[in-house]
Structure formats: C-alpha cells, structure tokens
Amino acid sequence: MLSEGDDSMDDQQALAGKEPIPVMVLRSRDQNTLQGEWRNGKGKSYPVVLSRVTELPATASSFMQQAYQHSRYEYLRHEGAEPVMTKQETVNGYDVEWWRDTLSGMTTFQLRSGYPADQLAGLNTTLRKELWQEVVNHYQCIIGVSPEQAEYTEEMQIRQLFPWVVSYTISGSMFCGGMHAYTGMRSANLRTTDASIIPLSDLLWVDDSPVPAEGAEPKDYRDDIFPAWLVEQLSVMYPAEMVKMVNAGGMKMECDYRDISVWHDISWSLTAQGILFHPTFPANDSICDDAPWAIVPWSAVKQHPGRLKNLPLP
C-alpha cells in the first residue's frame, strides 16, 4: 500500500492547489490486465500492473478455498506459500493436526476424528477462518511500520474437547508502532453440532429463573450480578490468589482479582475440572490477565444450570 502526504487533507484543499493529488493512469493491455503508472504529483512515480483475480481452481486445498472466501488479497499473497501441517497429536482421544502459515507464523488446528463427518467439516471450516483472520490481523498491525517497530504474535491452545463442545483460546502480543505493546487473549467455545459459539448462559446462570433468551440477558447481570457472584466464589475457593504481587519489567505490581471490573466482558474456556474464567485488566496491567487458577468446578456449575440443562457435564 502506497501512502503520500496528510490523509486528513480533503479533495477540495488539494484541488485548490495547496497540495498535488496523487493519480494513477491505467491502460488496458488485454482482457485481463491493466497497465500504467502511479504518480504522486511531486515527481515520484511507480509502474503499476493490475491483473484480474482468477477463479478458484477446483484443485485448491481447503485452506486456500477458505482464504479465497475470507480475503482475496491473502489468497493471492499465499499462492505458492500455503499453510503447512507441523504436528499431529491426540487430545482426549481426538486426532488433531496443527497447521502454520509459513508467511506470518499464525497457527490453527484441524480435527481429524472423534466427531461425525458433517460436524468435522463445520468445525474445521471455523478453525480455518480463525487462521485467516489472524493472518489479516498480523498484516494490519505491521503494515507501514519498520520490522524492528512491529510485532504480532499468536498462540492457539486447545482447552478441552468434549462430544458437545470444542474449547480453545488464542493469546498473543502486538506492537504496531505505538507507545506500548499489548497482550491479550480471547476464547471460543464451539457447539459441535453447528460450530456456533456457546454463550456462558447456556451452561451457567446465577440469577433468577427462567434464563432469558440468548442475547437478552440484562446488562446488570453481565456488569454486576455475575461478576460479583464470580468474585465471591473465587474468594472462597482461592483466597490466597485473589491479591498477588507480580514482577513486571523489574517492578512489583499488584493484581487485585477482587475488583469485579476485571471480570466484565468475561472470557472463559472449559477444562476437565470446570470452567476457567479469564480476567481482563487494563493494558498496562495485562500481566495480571494470566490466572490459570480461576476455575469454577463442575460441581458448582451443576448447581446453577443454564439453558442447556441436559448437557453431559463431567
């Protein structure tokens, strides 16, 4: 992408002669190609050749089919540089393949056994979408920034595979040329039937019954009722963990998990022991986000069932 001058300048200012307008002149070379030149109005020019994007070949791999649908630009960038399989393993009896994009380093996994064929197809499609979205995020971060001033890392981790759900997290850090680097983590819990996201209220509800329809939970439940309940539970189960001092760049920092605000917009994943909740601290305190102990055990979850009361919980 080429950029010149102040993006805040409007066309009227440029037309008034305050700043030359970059132009691109193109001519048709044949039915599938445009050729010409980009000029910035200050004497700088670049040759330009535009070719029509070809139709997706019938022999394209599943990853390249997904790239074609998700981002034609990434599809073209990755022609001849497709993701490669890096590892095979068995997780909870399910055969798993790990795949890596050779250009950006982003990763995902694919399920190869343990679910019906139609479920495998839907789940793997969603997991390939995750890869290409992370690839897009990677390039959006580093574009226009010198290599030593930009970094975007990603790590996908399988949290749990059950017959009814696939649970995983994506964590990483990014430094896109600003003042600070940021770390973060997001989770996804996919229904195996259709690869859609399972809301927490399907599994766990701590307010009055009946459970509201999905998306209709009151705002005070998300912002106050549930975070307060969660802090109360964690304080009883893990009192020694609720306030901790950690090292951050050679300095001591307090992580206070009693603050219900860090449990707003809750992220969660599944484990063999129960539901693991992931706090979210302000960016400058993100070292506190790592709380692998914050698990509400299945025995407690079963006392507060959500919409799906017949799920075969451990």
Strand 155-162 relative to strand 150-152: parallel, antiparallel, unpaired? Answer: unpaired
> CB under 8 Å, gap of 24 or more: what pairs does 234-242 form?
234/277, 234/294, 234/296, 237/296, 237/297, 238/293, 238/294, 241/291, 241/293, 241/294
What's the pTM value of the predicted model, to 2 decimals? 0.84
What percent of the chain is helix, strand and coil (3-state, nearest 5)? Answer: 30, 30, 40
d(CA 195, CA 173): 27
d(CA 70, CA 75): 8
Domains of the chain in sequence order: 1-52 (no CATH), 60-191 (3.30.565), 204-302 (no CATH)
Per-residue pLDDT of the chain (314 residues; tens, 9 = 90+): 344 444 444 555 444 555 678 888 998 888 789 999 998 877 789 999 988 877 898 899 999 999 999 999 899 999 999 999 999 999 999 999 999 999 999 999 999 999 999 999 999 999 999 999 999 999 999 887 777 778 999 999 999 999 999 999 999 998 888 767 788 899 999 999 999 999 999 999 999 989 999 889 899 999 999 999 999 999 999 999 999 998 877 788 899 999 999 998 889 999 999 999 999 988 777 888 989 999 999 999 999 999 999 999 99
From first CA to last CA, the distance across the chain in angstroms is 51
* Contact in structure between 123 and 115 (CB atoms under 8 Å): yes
- ∠ CA 164-168-170, rounded to 5°: 160
